[in-house]
Amino acid sequence: MHDLFESVYDPAQIEEAIQKHWVKSKIFEAYEDESKEKFYCLCMFPYPSGRLHMGHVRNYTIGDVIARYKKMKGFNVLQPMGWDAFGLPAENAAIENQTHPAKWTISNIEYMRNQLERLGFAYDWRRELSTCDPSYYRWEQWFFTRLYEKGLVYRKEAEVNWDPVDQTVLANEQVIDGCGWRSGVPVERRRIPQWFLKITDYAEELLDGLDSLEGWPESVKTMQRNWIGRSVGVNITFTVDGARDNLEVFTTRPDTLMGATYLAIAPDHPLAQEFAGNNEAVRKFLDDCRETPVSEVDFEKMEKKGVPLGLSASHPLTGDPLPVWVANFVLMSYGTGAVMSVPAHDQRDWEFATKYGLEIKQVIEPENDEDIDLKTQAITEKGRLINSGAFDGQRSSEAFRAIAAELKLRNLGIEKVQYRLRDWLVSRQRYWGCPIPVLYSDKDDILLEQGEKLPVRLPEEIDLDGVTSPLQGSLDFLKSVGSDGRVLRRETDTFDTFFESSWYFSRFCSYDAKGSMVDGRTSYWMPVDIYIGGIEHAVLHLLYARFFHKTMRDEGLVSSNEPFKKLLTQGMVCKETYFRKHGAKKVYFNPSQVETETDSKGRVVSAILKSDSNPVEIGPVEKMSKSKNNGVDPEELIKAYGADTVRLYTMFASPPEQSLEWSDSAVEGASRFLKSIWRLVKRHVDRGLLASAKNNQNLPTSLQTIRRQIHETIVKVSDDIDRRYKFNTAIAAVMELVNNLSRMKVEEDASQQVRQEGLEVTVLLLTPITPHITEVLWRALGHNEDIADTTWPSVDRSALIKNENNIVVQINGKKRATIVLPLDCKKEVYESKAIEDPNIQKYLTENSIVKVIVVPNKLVNIVLKPK
RNA sequence: GCCGGGAUGGCGAAAUUGGUAGACGCGCCAGAUUCAAAAUCUGGUAUGGGAAACCAUGUGUGGGUUCGAGUCCCACUCCCGGCACCA
Q: What's the CA gap between A406 and A402, in Å, rounded?
A: 6
The pLDDT tens digits for A832-848 are 999 998 888 888 877 78
Give the distance, in angstroms, between residue A854 CA and nucleotide B45 C1': 34
Q: Which residue is nearest to nucleotide B26 (CA to C1')?
A: A666
Q: What's the CA gap between A340 and A265, in Å, rounded?
A: 9
Whether the CA torsion A31, A32, A34, A38 is positive or negative: it is positive
DSSP E strands: which ranges in A328-460? 338-341, 364-366, 383-385, 413-419, 424-425, 427-428, 438-440, 446-448
B/e letters for A670-706, b = 16+ CB within 10 Å, e = fewer, are bbebbeebbebbbebbeeeebebbeebeebeeebebb
CB A547 within 8 A of CB A590: no
Give the distance, in angstroms, between residue A651 CA and nucleotide B14 C1': 15
Percentage of chain A with pLDDT > 70? Answer: 98
The pLDDT tens digits for A485-539 are 788 999 999 999 999 999 999 999 999 999 999 999 999 999 999 999 999 999 9
Give the DSSP H/E element, type plus range, for residue A534: strand A528-534
The pLDDT tens digits for A306-337 are 999 999 999 999 999 999 999 999 988 888 99
Query: What average pLDDT is seen over chain A?
Result: 92
CB A200 within 8 A of CB A422: yes
- The per-residue pLDDT for A601 is 64
Encoded amino acid at A364, one letter = I
Cβ atoms within 10 Å, residue A300:
9
Q: Which nucleotide is nearest to A493 (CA to C1')?
A: B85
Residues linked to residue A508 through DSSP beta bridges, in sequence order:
none
Give the distance, in angstroms, between residue A521 CA and nucleotide B38 C1': 57
Which alpha helices (DSSP H) does A172-331 contain, by range?
A: 203-209, 218-228, 270-276, 280-289, 296-301
- The per-residue pLDDT for A126 is 98
Cα A402 to Cα A115, A259, A633: the distances in Å are 66, 15, 66
pTM score: 0.94
Give the distance, in angstroms, between residue A594 CA and nucleotide B79 C1': 25
For A28, residues 6+ apart whose C-beta sits below 8 A from its C-beta are A22, A79, A122, A123, A124
CB A300 within 8 A of CB A225: no
Residues linked to residue A576 through DSSP beta bridges, in sequence order:
A621
The pLDDT tens digits for A632-675 are 899 999 999 999 999 999 999 999 999 898 888 899 999 999 99
Q: Which nucleotide is nearest to A806 (CA to C1')?
A: B20
CB A187 within 8 A of CB A161: yes
Q: Which residue is nearest to nucleotide B24 (CA to C1')?
A: A732
Percentage of chain A with pLDDT > 90? Answer: 73
Q: Which nucleotide is nearest to A161 (CA to C1')?
A: B85
CB A448 within 8 A of CB A438: yes
Q: What's the CA gap between A582 and A574, in Å, rounded?
A: 24
DSSP E strands: which ranges in A514-593? 528-534, 564-570, 573-582, 585-589
CB A775 within 8 A of CB A786: yes
Rounded to 5 degrees, φ, ψ at A279 are: -140, 105
* Confidence check: pLDDT of A712 > 70: yes
- The per-residue pLDDT for A708 is 95
End-to-end CA distance of chain A: 73
Give the distance, in angstroms, between residue A653 CA and nucleotide B61 C1': 29
Rounded to 5 degrees, φ, ψ at A716 are: -60, -50
Rounded to 5 degrees, φ, ψ at A107 are: -70, -35
Give the distance, in angstroms, between residue A654 CA and nucleotide B8 C1': 14
Q: Which nucleotide is nearest to A603 (CA to C1')?
A: B10
pLDDT tier, A472 (very low <50, low <70, confident <90, very high otherwise): confident
Residues linked to residue A339 through DSSP beta bridges, in sequence order:
A264
Calculate the dihedral angle through the C-alpha atoms of A171, A176, A180, A183, rounding to the nearest 10 degrees: -140
Q: Which nucleotide is nearest to A601 (CA to C1')?
A: B28
- The per-residue pLDDT for A569 is 95
- The per-residue pLDDT for A679 is 95
Burial class (CB in 10 A: 0-12, 13-18, 19+), A267: buried
Give the distance, in angstroms, between residue A5 CA and nucleotide B43 C1': 32
Q: Which nucleotide is nearest to A653 (CA to C1')?
A: B12
* Confidence check: pLDDT of A477 > 90: no
- The per-residue pLDDT for A664 is 87
Q: Which residue is nearest to nucleotide B45 (CA to C1')?
A: A601
pLDDT tier, A247 (very low <50, low <70, confident <90, very high otherwise): very high
Q: Which nucleotide is nearest to A87 (CA to C1')?
A: B87
The pLDDT tens digits for A552-587 are 999 999 999 999 999 999 998 988 888 888 877 778
* Confidence check: pLDDT of A10 > 70: yes
- The per-residue pLDDT for A145 is 97
Encoded amino acid at A542, one letter = L
Q: Which nucleotide is nearest to A807 (CA to C1')?
A: B20
- Name the residue with higher pLDDT: A382 or A115: A115
Q: What's the CA gap between A30 and A22, in Å, rounded?
A: 13
The pLDDT tens digits for A125-142 are 999 999 999 999 999 999
- The per-residue pLDDT for A613 is 85
The answer, yes or no, to whether the previous bond of A308 is cis (omega within 30 of 0) is no
Q: Which nucleotide is nearest to A739 (CA to C1')?
A: B24
Q: Which residue is nearest to nucleotide B85 (CA to C1')?
A: A171
- The per-residue pLDDT for A451 is 86
Q: Which residue is nearest to nucleotide B82 (CA to C1')?
A: A536
Which alpha helices (DSSP H) does A767-797 contain, by range?
A: 771-780
Per-residue pLDDT, averaged over A401-405, amounts to: 97
SS3 A83: strand
Give the distance, in angstroms, between residue A846 CA and nucleotide B52 C1': 30
* Confidence check: pLDDT of A826 > 70: yes
The pLDDT tens digits for A146-166 are 999 999 999 999 999 999 988
Q: What's the CA gap between A709 and A819, in Å, rounded?
A: 22
Give the distance, in angstroms, between residue A266 CA and nucleotide B74 C1': 38
Give the distance, in angstroms, between residue A553 CA and nucleotide B83 C1': 29
Q: Which nucleotide is nearest to A719 (CA to C1')?
A: B16
Q: Which residue is nearest to nucleotide B3 (CA to C1')?
A: A223
Of A535, A619, A595, the residue nearest A571 (C-alpha):
A535
Helix %, strand %, coil % of chain A (to 5): 40, 25, 35
Encoded amino acid at A616, one letter = V
Give the distance, in angstroms, between residue A220 CA and nucleotide B5 C1': 10
Protein-proximal positions, strand B, CB < 7 A: 1-5, 10-16, 19-21, 23-29, 39-42, 47, 54-56, 67-69, 80-87
pLDDT tier, A243 (very low <50, low <70, confident <90, very high otherwise): confident
Give the distance, in angstroms, between residue A765 CA and nucleotide B64 C1': 45
Q: Which residue is nearest to nucleotide B55 (CA to C1')?
A: A816
The pLDDT tens digits for A176-232 are 989 999 899 999 999 999 999 999 999 999 999 999 999 999 999 999 999 999 999
Give the distance, in angstroms, between residue A212 CA and nucleotide B72 C1': 27
Which alpha helices (DSSP H) does A171-254 contain, by range?
A: 203-209, 218-228
DSSP annotation of A723: I
Q: Which residue is nearest to nucleotide B12 (CA to C1')?
A: A653
The pLDDT tens digits for A606-629 are 888 888 888 888 877 888 888 888
* Confidence check: pLDDT of A802 > 90: no
Give the distance, in angstroms, between residue A772 CA and nucleotide B35 C1': 40
Q: Which nucleotide is nearest to A426 (CA to C1')?
A: B85
Give the distance, in angstroms, between residue A112 CA and nucleotide B41 C1': 41
pLDDT tier, A602 (very low <50, low <70, confident <90, very high otherwise): low
Q: What's the CA gap between A344 and A332, in Å, rounded?
A: 24
* Confidence check: pLDDT of A473 > 80: no
Q: Which nucleotide is nearest to A333 (CA to C1')?
A: B84
Q: Which nucleotide is nearest to A159 (CA to C1')?
A: B85
Q: Which residue is nearest to nucleotide B69 (CA to C1')?
A: A813
Instruction: Tell me the pairing of strands A859-864 and A804-811.
Output: parallel
Give the distance, in angstroms, between residue A679 CA and nucleotide B33 C1': 18
Give the DSSP H/E element, type plus range, for residue A740: helix A727-743
Give the distance, in angstroms, between residue A676 CA and nucleotide B25 C1': 14
* Confidence check: pLDDT of A389 > 80: yes
CB A352 within 8 A of CB A343: yes
- The per-residue pLDDT for A628 is 84
Q: What's the CA gap between A71 and A636, in Å, rounded?
A: 30
Q: What's the CA gap between A754 and A746, in Å, rounded?
A: 9
The pLDDT tens digits for A736-794 are 999 999 999 888 999 999 999 999 999 999 999 999 999 999 999 999 999 999 999 99
- The per-residue pLDDT for A370 is 64
Q: Which residue is nearest to nucleotide B66 (CA to C1')?
A: A813
